[in-house]
Structure 1
Amino acid sequence: MSDLSTKEIVKKYGFRFTKSLGQNFLIDDSVLMDIVEGANVSSEDLIIEIGPGVGTLTKELLKRAKKVFSIELDADLIPILKEELKEFNNFDLIHKDALKVDFNSLTGEEKSIKVVANLPYYVTTPIIAKLLNDKFNFKSLTIMIQKEVAERIAADPNTKEYGALSILVQYYCDTEIVRKVAPSSFIPQPKVDSIVIKLNKLEKPRVIVKDEKLFFRVSREAFNMRRKTLWNALKALKIGSDLMEKAFINARIDSKRRGETLSLQEFADLSNAIYDLNQ
């Protein structure tokens, strides 16, 4: 089995990075091992890896996991991955855009599913949103993402980072920062710091909501115009003023507050109040 480093594999195949795909390959072994350890991969786990690059992280996952599905968009990486990982019979390579994969069909009845990814920054939020909104039955998601996005995911109310992404992730998951990662840990080097963050899926959502679609719409609209009061921001819902006023009273929330001041529970209370009045 080849034990070439990421740099050596890139050189061996003359691989050229595609800027439009946001490719930054990890070259720091300590970070790689921290991802594997952070994901707590065991022989019971089916791993979904998004963006395997040249397969250095994939190899470590394959040594520990029951099976690894690696999803790669770049056609130039497919033959490299097939060659470098040909000795593993628990490896399944999927040449596809991860945003178009039906993860529930892919994993079937598997009980212990973990997602591991060194995501291109431009698809971070869409991928996270897809995995959560599609009700994909994973245990945890351990991902390398841009520092600013990780801070938004883990943000508390009354901070500038707190927003619709914080609400989405914290509704479904506990969040845990595994480690920070410097630009020098990659080739080519990104211009920003990265963070490995782990999202542990809750058995049931953190708060009780009567209509999830409405709950997320209320939170999105509340953050769309951050400087606006809730009263003005939620005009986008096109609900009558009398009904909206009553919803604020029933939820015990001051309509002059801004969205960034509301906790997850308060967003649930407000969306539930609106739902009740519309029945």
Structure 2
Amino acid sequence: MAAIPQAVSHVLPLQPFPPYPLPTPSPSRTGARHRRGESFIACSKGLRGSHDDYHATLRALNSKGRTPRKSLGQHYMLNNDINEQLVNAAGVKEGDVVLEIGPGTGSLTNVLIHAGATVLGIEKDPYMASIVTERFAETNRLKVLQEDFVKCHIHSHMSSFLASIVSDMKPRYAKVVSNIPFNISTDVVKQILPMGDIFSEVVLLLQEETAVRLVVSALRTSEYRPINIFVNFYSGRCSSCEV
């Protein structure tokens, strides 16, 4: 039986939050109000995605004759409602800077850009890097680096990217919003969470067993592992929900 993806949200406490208030989502969409300094998840089950984005994703794949590569942990989100809820969970708004790990065909990227974010995408697969770059060739809100995330110097890349943003209020922090390749989930968490000096929030879509292992495992149980200590040390409020 296939694992059920889960969305996991972290707020990193190591540095002050950005000097702007996070937006308060509508209670009717999330089921809960969001207070600054807390994490939240907005997700639902069984929703049909946007037909436009569904077909855009399929067209992008067909144009290159591509299918998901299991060796890279690839999977493509065809439900645009889930993408929108990931973006809402991170409180992405105009002027935000977002790191997206494994943008693939750009379905989540599209929602991030329409929310007003400037996106740095890290894509290992050169074919996918080409697809997402071509799809957003007419916008200056996306930069794609064709690199292996677990081997690249993400802190250096992100610092340079933040410094390159031209705006009246230069952003001090970035957010991470990603539907990450499942085979690098733990590696991503280990790299991202200690970077509280550069990332204010992290929202990831993970396989169910990974989310449970990282977030739900209770202290003094056989499921509680060193990775749980790591997550609890480096993150503030942390939550997960099934999508």
Distance in 2 (alpha carbons) for counterparts of 1:46 and 1:16: 29
Distance in 2 (alpha carbons) for counterparts of 1:147 and 1:136: 29
Give the aligned partner of residue 147 of structure 1. Answer: 208
Q: Determine which of 106, 120, 123 is the counterpart of 1:69.
A: 120
**What SS class does the counterpart of residue 37 from structure 1 fall into?**
helix
* Counterpart amino acid of residue 113 in structure 1: A
Asked whether the 8 Å contact 1:62–1:88 carries over to 2, the reply is: no
Please show how residues 1-279 of structure 1 align to structure 2 within 5 Å. 4-108=55-159, 110-133=171-194, 137-154=198-215, 155-173=217-235, 174-177=237-240, 179-181=241-243
* Counterpart amino acid of residue 88 in structure 1: T
Distance in 1 (alpha carbons) for counterparts of 2:66 and 2:231: 35
Offset from partner CA, 1:171-195 (integer Å, 9 cap, x none): 1112121x313xxxxxxxxxxxxxx
Distance in 2 (alpha carbons) for counterparts of 1:172 and 1:59: 30
Deviation at 1:161, TM superposition (A): 2.8
Distance in 2 (alpha carbons) for counterparts of 1:151 and 1:96: 29
Distance in 2 (alpha carbons) for counterparts of 1:160 and 1:36: 34
**What SS class does the counterpart of residue 25 from structure 1 fall into?**
coil
Asked whether the 8 Å contact 1:47–1:114 carries over to 2, the reply is: yes
Query: Unmatched 5+ residue regions in structure 2?
Result: 1-51, 164-170
Structure ID, larger Rg: 1
Deviation at 1:138, TM superposition (A): 0.5
Offset from partner CA, 1:135-193 (integer Å, 9 cap, x none): 6520111101111111122122133432111110111112121x313xxxxxxxxxxxx
* Counterpart amino acid of residue 115 in structure 1: V
Q: Which has the higher contact order (CA 8 A, sep 6+)?
A: 2
Deviation at 1:23, TM superposition (A): 0.8
Relative to structure 1, the CA distance from residue 51 to residue 107 in structure 2 (aligned partners, 3 Å threshold; closer, same or farther) is same
Distance in 1 (alpha carbons) for counterparts of 2:114 and 2:85: 15
* Counterpart amino acid of residue 242 in structure 2: K
Alpha-carbon RMSD across the aligned residues, in angstroms, is 1.9
Distance in 2 (alpha carbons) for counterparts of 1:65 and 1:101: 26
Question: Structure 2-normalised TM-score?
Answer: 0.68
**What SS class does the counterpart of residue 92 from structure 2 fall into?**
coil
